[in-house]
Amino acid sequence: MNDRTLRITVARSGGVAGITPSWSITASEEPEVDSWLSLVASCPWDAPGPEADANGADRFVYSIRVLLPTAASGTGVDDGADGGHPPSASEAPDAARARERDARVPETALQGPWRELVDRVKQASAR
């Protein structure tokens, strides 16, 4: 994976079946990367995690992880102290420069840009 490769993974857990499918995309061409990144940037990564409905059961939970290309600065995606994992010294140089964001979004909160991001990753992954 080169410096300019963006990777987004969506993993779904929960549901009455308890089956955990996942979908992922990679993009390395500039217009495509930028298009994904603007969608990523529009998601409320820093919003406090919404409380799942205390009385609901068997709803899906989505884990969304974005591995950002290192040259992504200036795209409006900030460093975000909460979702990012500081790279460890033992990782490869490329990985050490990459940045990662992740969020766990209950199905009941999967609206707006979160929904758009998940649906787009599912569709692109199926192709």
Which residue's CB is nearer to another protein, number 20 or number 38? 20
Which among 81, 39, 86, 28 is positioned nearest to 64, based on CA atoms? 39
Rounded to a whole number of angstroms, the minimum distance from the CB of residue 126 to another protein is: 11
Q: Is residue 93 involved in binding another protein (CB under 8 A)?
A: no
Which residue's CB is nearer to another protein, number 51 or number 93? 51
Burial class (CB in 10 A: 0-12, 13-18, 19+), 8: buried
Among 30, 46, 58, 82, binds another protein (CB under 8 A): 58
Q: Is residue 126 involved in binding another protein (CB under 8 A)?
A: no
- The Cα–Cα gap between 99 and 81 comes to 11
Q: Let me know: does 68 contact 77? Beta carbons within 8 Å.
A: yes
Q: Which stretch binds another protein (CB under 8 A): 39-47, 59-67, 75-83, 85-93?
A: 59-67
- The Cα–Cα gap between 46 and 103 comes to 9
Residues 67-86 close enough to bind another protein by CB under 8 A: none
Q: Is residue 95 involved in binding another protein (CB under 8 A)?
A: no
- The Cα–Cα gap between 127 and 81 comes to 34
Which residue's CB is nearer to another protein, number 20 or number 73? 20
As given in the structure block, the two tokens for residue 7 are: 């990777």
Question: Which residues make up the interface to another protein (CB under 8 A)?
Answer: 11, 13-20, 52-61, 63, 104
